[in-house]
Structure 1
């Protein structure tokens, strides 16, 4: 069995040729299926930069209003100031946090500035700390909205109609709006095809692949299976592929398919790719005159990470496999076994239905479990060449003329090569066929898998079906049941995926900052999405803070003991349901140690004299410490900020005791009892062995003073 690329050939057994000649806009499409044409033109890199934020929206339980119902800006500022003082939040890394009021949205909801710009995870953790304050309803990042992502690749707005909104072109994949939510990042898509050229707008997204073409005559590269999946060309002479077969030039079919899936995008060159954040794994299975089913099945298994005898294992397992190829006949057991094996390891198979313009789809598209893709035009009509029939899953943009509504015949614009036989220069061209429709759906599958990496093949297929747009009015498939669910729609598919996914809330059992050494417990409350699929697993992981040991990473609740003072910890819980759909949430907690008062020695002071000393404390987090005194002696005072104790003219003579307690605004340290002895003046000794008390001394001093006074007044010699 030899398999051919499902490009824009008249039959599925004729190898496609990319036609570069432009077609006049005045040309009319012939009636019936099987007609095909192509356009020429040009193609291209990722985005996603790390934003930093310093604004939070905080909603308080109470509004900042006066009794007259008038908004009070000073009250709003006070709310924020009290939040800063009461919560004592610690931002990860210097400088220290300093909340400041910026503006208000409502009487209860204000915008605050955090004092330093942080990445999303750090500021999220800070917001969760603020939510621990009992006065706060919620705190969230004040997000920066942007216009919907539009690639700056020059061909995107004019020639890549197949990516646009259906409001602009009924046959568009509706990628605007979808790209803001997913670019396919983290997903590997295998292109099971003729190999892929290292095109300038593909090279950055290509992974090392493998060449499975074992027949030397078909390989056209001088050897059989090897580690080079680059396309050497598939040209052939007349009669080489059978009696009467025409001479053909190299098609560079796999390169065109790969560009649709993941051309480097937003680099100001060429055009865009559907899942430009994904990586392409080239698997060469087609050579001159096509490829054997045995090589294709082996390539499929290898791409999904399964072992193939005599071939090194693939380290980059593909979540999605695109097969823009096929032959007539029912699904062979070799193909079905391969598809079953791929499904068991979570990989999704997307295949083209064929280009014979007939009712009935070819293999491997007709294998159970495959996402079988037919093709439609710019106006949303089923293309006149595109096979439909039982087993068709949905339709992707394939270009060409419609079966009922001819349209202008515009094709699918992607990466190509100029070489007629061996490789030439990088180029771009428009082609058409179910081969072009399938990679649109494979790219969309990558967008979905990037959001939900563990999604099962059946669940992903269900999302594509349930989100497909109805076939437009007046088109060939409008009232047919054998054209699939409708037209693939990227934005609707992501919306549908969101509704099916479960949800989870994470909380800390103990509100507020926790003492270092205390056991902190987290709880996860998960709910099924609209699919109703039950939660099958929990997974806890630590995102920030000193590494700790969780009591469990797979239960709904977990706990840990905070080992480090002054640390902020953020944990994530991820739940997975029976469809492989996941949801995640984060919870944060800060540990703190109370300050320790330095020992204060017992104090002694003479009655009537002044006493002063300074209380000091150590704090592991270097927080500011305040000092609180209880039962101070009358007339004494303690400055809470400086810790300075003052007692002027201490007395009366007695023994006194009071306590001083240090506090860092979150926790109070152990109080210390301070002892102060106020003593009377010592007795003064007199003549004759007697003694004089202080009254005697005072009397003598008074007499001496009078004597001096009268002596001076009456001239008494001195």
Structure 2
């Protein structure tokens, strides 16, 4: 219940009692003032041991105020932490300490272990408020993670992909807000789609954009079907951004004004590139504007390559049985599927690959867009480069020739190859990857050429940590619309988060198994994971040899390149096994659609379970099964089965840790289906689910909120059941409630305690306390006999409203009334800093 109590007598507090705004002051009004004798109530406020306060909130009564607007002024945080604070642009938000001058940046310095998650939840004080979160490597000053959605009343999060010291930067891009910043404990699992990189995440001062077509009428109609590829934009320096009326980030003072003429540093260039992208998106002239990300290959090189058999990884996916099934089907007249490989090139003269190459291109931007493009995708490595031959290895796993008495074979040796080179050294940019996706799909790109035949399958054994960029999501959607099945590796960070582009909607994300069919410790897991395939583990020899995945490579004899055969490990090696299996399916049934493949995967009909029945975050839908896949494709080809879409929930496993209290999940259909959502329930009293944006069939997004006061101390598990017209789907929720309260490390600022008459919520008395550490005492006098409720809250944004979302708030006995017939002491109130008002709290206005 969220009733709003508005009392005209308390609007101008100072007119009623001098002690209203002071520490420890007490007052009595209303019914209490007409009672000649009342009673005294007293107790304590308990704070979580991890409670922290922003050192420069909008509360003018905050003691020890210290600016934290730049790295030089960074507020140091230990972890775990649960911090409440405020941010605002100048002249925006409630009157207070920061209203006139503004406080758009808060900077914190902390040490994070791998997997620790920083979450920012906020509630705007004015319409259109928007807060963003950045993670900066404190040593290199490079932005390694960011979460900057366009939504008000939102949650941003970043999980650390590498251990180290970091600046956590919160920014009010627009408006004013109360916010809660939480940092999970080391080893605590929190669901977050954004994982930081260990190095620079994108090309600073460069943006990737797609202008909207503003033309109208007949010309626009005639051009509607034409694809327009994205373009690169240079980002101005902070001085130019300031002149344009923006508030760029500055190392010196956080304003970008006083020091606007100084040279931009790495942290300024990185953050201001992202701020400028957001400004351009808001202008409405672009379909998307985002960083030009740096992507890497997902493979490890062996120290001692061995020329050995491939039998373990092909037997694991049941390839021999699939090849027999295809041979029996007599499909020689079927067209040969075409597989695009976006990678670092190919050894074009390799005897197992040269005859397989149907089309190729290199998309390389050296200084400007496409200035290094080439008609050849040949791997340009020299002996001095000590190359991995990554793209050559991937291509060989997909389609190396069979039965030619040379080297090994690929999963789909009848397939043709379209190698597309995008790497310069160890990096590839999203701009160049996008051009390759467009080329593979037969769409316009910066080569000036359109592929003679679009690819059937597209493999990307590459990526980076972070959420899916809009540019890649758009390109994948266009490729799928052209009939291309898109596959990508999940990443080799060993994290509970799939990297991008594998985490983009419509991409089949592939994790890696070892020779025993177990998930490898380097393979990324998470809510976006779809399926597993052999990736190898060089520390093992379960196959009788070192357990690499073996395929085509090159080698140098002096400076002369020669074809060869060798091993690599990684999710980069797992993905082409799946791409090869999909090529087999499209050879068996050239008419099978992208959405039919989606549905078969979701039904578990292309894989064998590895973990719990059905999908799980560790292994997706299980291990890819080539024999099952070919069988399903053949069944659809001969018309022995029709296939309707099914509903899917994502994510199906959510970890909120000890500090995050809200999250979302989505229900979608793989393709058109009669299946609908009937009901969504949770038997746990501390879990609430509400629809956010849902259609008549129940498809769309839902918000989950948890109330830790109704959970046990320690780890809690709850299940959300989604009953559809055909079956039951589940979302598993894991939540931690901390035991330790009142630690000497905890801190908050001014807390106001209210006594309310239970019958009508009239304010009987208030007192202000200024806690510094631990558990703090409060005392209310002249309370009349009867039923009362006790409530306590901060007002960090100084707007006169208490127990709003984002405030520290607590109610005595979960909001139950207290019978007053004499003095009462020892009344403990636990302050909830999760950002969500606890059960029984009401929003008070004074």
Specify if TM > 0.5.
no
- TM range, smaller chain: 0.3 to 0.5
**TM-score normalised according to structure 1 size:** 0.45
Q: Between the two structures, name the one with larger relative contact order (CA 8 Å, sep ≥ 6).
A: 2
**TM-score normalised according to structure 2 size:** 0.38
Higher strand share: 2
